[in-house]
């Protein structure tokens, strides 16, 4: 029953959406959705890089001599307003 959506049904759904939200709010909603998607993508990439960096240490172990540097995660390239510093987690286990 609901498996096949043709052109008339899709047009009707779009008209209902425009009537509910208004034509002025739709571009703002789309912009917000795009920004959220960019933030999610950059956070997922940062987590993936963090996981690969912690799995294979590149240098000698940190013996507490120097705290790890902070890095900045940006929501989108060039978007300075939503960037924030992030402190790296420290390994508290003793070997």
pLDDT digits (tens, 9 = 90+) for 28-61: 888 999 999 999 999 999 998 887 876 555 555 5
Q: Do the domain assignments include residue 70?
A: no
Number of domains in the chain: 1
Question: Interhelix angle for 25-55 vs 7-21, to 10°?
Answer: 100
Residue % of the chain over a pLDDT of 70 = 55
Q: Do the domain assignments include residue 95?
A: no
* Domain span including residue 39: 25-51
Q: Do the domain assignments include residue 32?
A: yes
pTM: 0.39
Q: Do the domain assignments include residue 15?
A: no
Quick one: pLDDT at residue 50? Answer: 84
Q: Do the domain assignments include residue 36?
A: yes
b/e burial code for range 40-76 (CB count within 10 A of at least 16 → b): eebeeeeeeeeeeeeeeeeeeeeeeeeeeeeeeebbb
């Amino acid at each position: 029953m609901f498996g096949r959506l043709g052109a008339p049904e899709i047009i009707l759904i779009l008209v209902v959406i425009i009537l509910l939200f208004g034509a002025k709010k739709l571009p703002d909603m789309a912009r917000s959705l795009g920004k959220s998607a960019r933030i999610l993508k950059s956070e997922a990439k940062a987590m993936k890089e963090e996981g690969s960096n912690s799995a294979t240490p590149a240098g000698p172990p940190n013996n507490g001599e120097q705290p790890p540097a902070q890095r900045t995660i940006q929501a989108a390239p060039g978007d300075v307003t939503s960037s924030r510093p992030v402190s790296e987690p420290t390994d508290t286990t003793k070997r």
